[in-house]
């Protein structure tokens, strides 16, 4: 039997193109890694290409379509710096700056800048050629990718953002006046694919299992997950030490919640997990509602101290709370033989943290200040070793966006050598802590 999970994403997209009759289609996405394979193998099937506030990008993968490429980025911050570097290496590429706006990876960019983004897509794509489709709105699933079609005119395929709560929704009705808008989704694209891929890493799962072991839930107890994302860890939880526990998985992002609920149902776990929309800074639960709680790579993106206070509030006395955040204050490590100057660049993790978030060792002090006791603190490295996977691409593309063409050649040679030895991997640092709510 063929393992359909190993089908390359480019092949899935090509199959969908053929299924829908898209000889040539415009594409807009935030995640360049989702379409780089299609760009490499079938550039003729792409009309105009719009990268909307990408947080990661290897420019080398897009040279063949650079004259048909538009980069939309914030005026400052990581996406602005990335866009400036990328456009300088992509001859003929265009750029639109969202004035006065920063676009971190979790920004709701289309909701925040609807007029500017819709106008930019109209202005840029009308000069490009794409298949014109007509017909009623329809939806379906093909090659593992869900699709929803609205409007008529040249085809514009919208791939998922990484974490944006509203995704493309604020712009779809207006875009559908002039384009056949094809909205894609499912477990193989965007942030869902990266979160699912991350959860398949054995060392990542081991880190989560260690956290759950320290929390030590027993059957019949209730557990709250704040910021569940794709729900991958809740499904792991439902099958492991917390089998028989009442799991409530929350997220502020309605798109992620819908996808998480769908994936839980596909895995036969719909009755084991309750999904609910919730803001980490103002949880919609009474005091002492849960026996235990955890949150993983969420407090970087919100007011961390308010979120910790909320976790303390909703857990019962004697309950335990586990927190994991990215560690931008520790080096990441690539198992590559590199010159010192290049290695120094590669060791710095993406400095991705909100103004009130936490992504460093201050997490431990913040936990203490929030009232938690008996802290078990454990800075941790997790390993990723699947270079064709979404989470690897997400991390490596950040490095490649920083390198000169000459450095990129050195990097790729080093990666090829490590792959040939069967020793291609990287280690990513995180801060982990479990604390208890005092009984009195």
For residues 38 and 46, is the Cβ–Cβ distance under 8 A?
yes
Do 176 and 198 have their domain in common?
no
Q: How far apart are the first and last CA of the chain?
A: 58
Do 205 and 162 have their domain in common?
no
Mean pLDDT, residues 225-240: 93
pLDDT band with cut points at 50, 70 and 90 for residue 239: confident
> What pLDDT, on the 0 to 100 scale, is given for residue 63?
94
382 closest CA partner among 144, 232, 202? 202
**Encoded tokens for 107:** 């920004």
Do 378 and 250 have their domain in common?
yes
CA gap 320, 294 in Å, rounded: 8
**Structural domain span for residue 263:** 193-436
Residue 348 in this model has a pLDDT that exceeds 50: yes
Please count the CA atoms within 13 angstroms of the CA of 367 that sit on its side-chain side. 28
212 closest CA partner among 320, 309, 300, 314? 320
| CATH number of the domain encompassing residue 114 | 3.40.50
> What pLDDT, on the 0 to 100 scale, is given for residue 240?
80
From 185, 207, 226, give the residue that closes a domain.
185
| Angle CA 165–166–167, to nearest 5 | 95
More confident site: 388 or 143: 143
8 SS3 class: coil
For residues 2 and 11, is the Cβ–Cβ distance under 8 A?
no
Do 199 and 147 have their domain in common?
no
Please count the CA atoms within 13 angstroms of the CA of 423 that sit on its side-chain side. 7
pLDDT band with cut points at 50, 70 and 90 for residue 23: very high
Do 177 and 241 have their domain in common?
no
> What pLDDT, on the 0 to 100 scale, is given for residue 4?
58
| CATH number of the domain encompassing residue 226 | 3.40.50.150
Do 158 and 278 have their domain in common?
no
Residue 393 in this model has a pLDDT that exceeds 80: yes
143 closest CA partner among 114, 186, 104? 186
Residues 395-432 have pLDDT tens digits of 999 999 899 999 999 999 999 999 999 999 999 999 99
pLDDT band with cut points at 50, 70 and 90 for residue 78: confident
Please count the CA atoms within 13 angstroms of the CA of 253 that sit on its side-chain side. 26
> What pLDDT, on the 0 to 100 scale, is given for residue 46?
96
Residues 137-157 have pLDDT tens digits of 799 999 999 999 999 899 999
CA gap 161, 69 in Å, rounded: 18
pLDDT > 70: what percent of the chain? Answer: 98
Do 176 and 227 have their domain in common?
no
Centre a 10 Å sphere on the Cβ of residue 351 and count the other Cβ atoms it contains.
Answer: 11
> What pLDDT, on the 0 to 100 scale, is given for residue 211?
94
Residue 1 in this model has a pLDDT that exceeds 50: no
DSSP H stretches of helix in 216-269: 232-239, 254-266
Do 363 and 242 have their domain in common?
yes
From 158, 185, 212, give the residue that closes a domain.
185
Residues 291-335 have pLDDT tens digits of 999 999 999 999 999 999 999 999 999 999 999 999 999 999 999
Q: Which residues pair with 69 in a beta bridge?
A: 49
Do 332 and 258 have their domain in common?
yes
């Amino acid at each position: 039997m063929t393992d359909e999970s190993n089908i390359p994403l480019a092949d899935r997209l090509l199959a969908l193109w053929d299924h829908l009759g898209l000889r040539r289609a415009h594409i807009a996405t935030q995640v360049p890694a989702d379409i780089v394979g299609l760009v490499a193998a079938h550039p003729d099937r792409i009309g105009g290409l719009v990268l909307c506030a990408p947080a990661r990008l290897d420019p080398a993968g897009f040279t063949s379509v650079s004259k048909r490429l538009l980069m939309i980025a914030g005026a400052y911050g990581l996406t602005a710096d990335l866009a400036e570097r990328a456009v300088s290496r992509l001859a003929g590429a265009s750029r639109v700056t969202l004035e006065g706006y920063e676009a971190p990876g979790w920004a709701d960019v289309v909701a925040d800048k609807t007029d500017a983004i819709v106008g930019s897509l109209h202005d840029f794509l009308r000069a490009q050629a794409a298949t014109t489709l007509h017909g009623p709105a329809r939806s379906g699933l093909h090659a593992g990718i869900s699709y929803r079609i609205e409007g008529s005119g040249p085809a514009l395929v919208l791939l998922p953002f990484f974490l944006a709560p509203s995704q493309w929704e604020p712009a779809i009705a207006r875009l559908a006046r002039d384009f056949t808008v094809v909205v894609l989704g499912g477990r193989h694209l965007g942030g869902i694919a990266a979160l699912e891929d991350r959860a398949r890493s054995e060392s990542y799962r081991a880190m989560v299992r260690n956290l759950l072991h320290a929390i030590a839930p027993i059957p019949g107890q209730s557990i709250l997950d704040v910021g569940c994302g794709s729900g991958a860890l809740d499904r792991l939880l439902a099958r492991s030490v917390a089998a028989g526990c009442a799991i409530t998985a929350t997220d502020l992002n309605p798109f992620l919640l819908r996808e998480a609920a769908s994936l839980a149902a596909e895995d036969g776990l719909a009755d084991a997990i309750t999904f609910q929309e919730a803001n980490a800074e103002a949880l919609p639960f009474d005091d002492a509602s849960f026996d235990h709680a955890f949150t993983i790579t969420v407090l970087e993106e919100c007011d961390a101290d308010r979120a910790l206070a909320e976790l303390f509030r909703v857990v019962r006395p004697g309950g335990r709370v586990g927190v994991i955040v990215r560690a931008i204050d520790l080096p990441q490590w690539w198992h590559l033989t590199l010159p010192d100057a290049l290695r120094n660049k590669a060791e710095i993790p993406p400095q991705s943290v909100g103004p009130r978030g936490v992504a460093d060792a201050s997490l431990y002090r913040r936990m203490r200040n929030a009232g938690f006791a008996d802290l078990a603190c454990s800075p941790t490295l997790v390993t990723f070793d699947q270079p064709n996977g979404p989470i690897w691409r997400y991390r490596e593309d950040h490095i490649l966006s920083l390198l000169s063409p000459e450095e990129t050649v050195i990097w790729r040679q080093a990666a090829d050598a490590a792959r040939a030895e069967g020793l291609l991997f990287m280690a990513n640092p995180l801060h982990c802590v479990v604390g208890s709510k005092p009984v009195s």
